[in-house]
Amino acid sequence: STYHFKIYTFNSTGPCYLTPTSAQTSTIPMSQTRISVQDGDWNDAATWDTGVPQDGDNVIIRHTVENTTGDIVINNFTIEASGSFNHNGGSSPVPRAVHITGDFMNDSGFSQTAGSSVIFEGSDQIIGGTTRTQFNIVVLDHAGTLTLQADALIFNGLTGNSGRLEANEFELTVGHEWN
């Protein structure tokens, strides 16, 4: 959903009135939490309780969900013990990505095909859950710290454009290349 707000100025020195200030009208997108209700495709509304996730939504996966059609942009991403997520991003014409601006929690299954990546784009973020997550490619492009709270394996590369990565006592295995 998108909510629209109009800003008014208040005259505190005379009669009480509000004056609309149209030059300051803003649109602020509000995220929702979308929960899978059945196995299915990411872009099928029947897979979700309140429709297909929109950019910036929080997502909870409780079933088997697959994305085969392109990039997705989400805030918090949770894969519960009963769920699994496959990002079949493909490599033609451009590799596809899962953009995450919040935390990533994996309690079950997360998989990616060759050429797809996960891009962490928030401020302070977490990779957590009860299952070691296996990523294809990870890109750090965030303004804070990405903290591991579970083991992670990155098959085909870790790229750090900005931000910091803290593994703490958790195991981080990077195959292929680390930029």
Task: Tell me the residue length of the chain.
Answer: 179
- Average pLDDT for the chain: 85
Mean pLDDT of 80-106: 84
Q: Who wins on pLDDT, 31 or 34?
A: 34
Q: Is residue 134 within 8 Å of residue 115, measured between CB atoms?
A: no
Asked if residue 139 has pLDDT above 70, the reply is: yes
Mean pLDDT of 11-29: 55
pTM attached to this predicted model:
0.80
Q: State how far the Cα of 151 lies from the Cα of 133, in Å rounded to an integer.
A: 7
Helices in 66-132 by DSSP H: which ranges?
none
pLDDT band, very low/low/confident/very high, at 94 (cuts 50, 70, 90): low
Instruction: For 155, list phi and psi in degrees, rounded to 5.
Output: -70, -50
Q: Is residue 63 within 8 Å of residue 38, measured between CB atoms?
A: yes
